[in-house]
Amino acid sequence: MPLGRKLSRFLQYAGWPTLTGLLLGAVVILLLPHYTNDQSSIPGLENISLGNLSPRSDWEGRTSYADAVRQAAPAVVNIYTRKKLKRRRHPLFDDPLFRHFFNNSNLPQQERMQSALGSGVIIQDDGYILTNNHVIDGADEIVVLTRGGREAQAKLIGTDPESDLAVLKVELDNLTSITIGNPDAARIGDVVLAIGNPFGVGQTVTQGIISATGRFGLNLNTYEDFLQTDAAINPGNSGGALIDAYGNLLGINTAIYDQTGFSVGIGFAIPADTALQVMKDLVEHGQVIRGWLGIEAQQLSPQLAKSFNIEVTNGVVITAIYNNGPAHRAGLRPGDVITHINKQPIGDGRRGMNQIAYTRPGTQVSVYVLRNGQPQTIVATIGSKPVSS
C-alpha cells in the first residue's frame, strides 16, 4: 500500500481521539486554574507554606560547647594511684627443713605495685582537688597530672566513704580552678558535658543531658542525691567534672548503672553543692559534719500500717530512740510513725535520712508523726551524728 494511503488511514482512525483529548485538557486548564496555582484550596493544606521548609535563622541555642570546655577543662586532672600488694610466700618458705637447705630463713616478703586511674577537679587554685573516695581508696601513692602536663604528688586531706568523696592537695603554682554552678537549678533536658580520663586514654569530653535529678535508693552510697545523665561515663571518669553548657561545675561524676562496667547512658554525679560541703568539712574538721536525729526506724509496710490501724503507707516507724539524743529530748517515742519532716514526705525513709543528714546541727525541724493514729507535730533540734568507730 502506498505510504500516503497508510498515513491517511491512520489519521482517520487515530486523529479524532487525539484531537478530542487535547481539547478537553485545554478546557480543564481554562476552567480550573486555581488547582495549579492555589494550593490553599486543597483540603488539609490551608496552613502549610513552602516557606516553613527553609532553615531557621533565628535559633539562639548553642551549636558548639567549645567555650564551655575551654573554661572547665584546665581544672580537670588525671589521677594515678599505686598500691603495694604483698605476695603470699610459698608454704615451703616456712618449713624448717627447706630453710636449712636453702638458707631462706630471712627471705623478705615480696611486693608488687598495682596501678589505678581516675579523675579529679581543682576546686581552689591553691591546690585543693575533689575526687571520688573509690579512686584513691587504699592507695600508697597518689599522683596528679594536670591538663598542661605537669605532675605532682598529692596529699590526702580526707575521705568520706558514705558519700564516696575525697579531698586531695597538690603544691603547684598557677592552677586553674573550676567555676561552680548551681545544681539546684539544673533541669531535666539541660545539656551537660562530662570531662575525665576514661580508660586512661587522656582527657575526654562527652555530651548528653540531665536525665533526672534527686536520684536516691540506688545502694551506691549511704547518702544519695544524684544527678543522672546520659553523657558517657566510663572507668576512669570517676571523680571528673559534670559541667553545664557554660562550663560551670554541676557535679562530680561518680558511677554508672550497668552490670558490664561500661556506659550505656545511665550515669550519676554528686551535686556540686553537696560535694563542696563535704570538702569544707574535711578541710576544716577532718570529718564530715552531718545532722542526726537519734532514732532507729523501719519502713512502714502495708502490714505494719494495718497493725497500727492507719491507712497511710508513706513513712517510717520509730523502733528505737537513743538515750538523751535529739529525738529523745524532743519527745519522740518508739512506735511513732514519721510521715513528714518540714512538710516534706519522707517516703520509704531514705529521703528523710538524707534530709536530716544534710541539715546542719543546731537547726530546728518540724517532725510530723502519727501517734496512736492521731497526727502530731514535734519540733526537734538536729544534733551531730556520732563518729563511727
**Identified catalytic residue from 134, 244, 263, 336:** 134
Neighbours of 48 (CB within 10 A): 12
Strand, helix or coil at 25? helix
Nearest C-alpha neighbor of 227 from the set 196, 262, 259, 273? 273
Q: Is residue 162 exposed (0-12), middle (13-18) or buried (19+ Cβ within 10 Å)?
A: middle
> E strand or H helix at 196, and its extent?
strand 191-196
Q: How many residues does the chain have?
A: 389
* Residue 238 falls in the annotated catalytic set: yes
Rounded to 5 degrees, φ, ψ at 98 are -65, -45
> From CA 240, how far away is CA 278, in angstroms rounded?
16
Lookup: cell for 365: 525541724
Q: Which of 119, 160, 164, 211 is labelled catalytic?
A: 164
Tell me the C-alpha distance between 310 and 98, whole Å. 74
Cell of 54: 527553609
Per the structure block, which three cell numbers stand in for 266? 545511665
Q: Cα separation of 358 and 50, whole Å?
A: 57
* Alpha-carbon dihedral angle through residues 158, 159, 163, 169, given to the nearest 10 degrees: 50
CA 115 from centre of chain: 26
Q: Look up 163 and say whether it is catalytic.
A: no
Amino acid in the structure at residue 283: V
Q: Is 164 a catalytic residue?
A: yes
Reduced to 3 states (helix: H, G, I; strand: E, B; else coil), residue 18 is helix
Write down the catalytic residue from 238, 244, 263, 273: 238
Q: Give which of 283, 275, 341, 292 is closest to 314, Cα–Cα.
A: 341
- d(C-alpha 325, C-alpha 328), whole Å: 5
Residues with catalytic function: 134, 164, 238
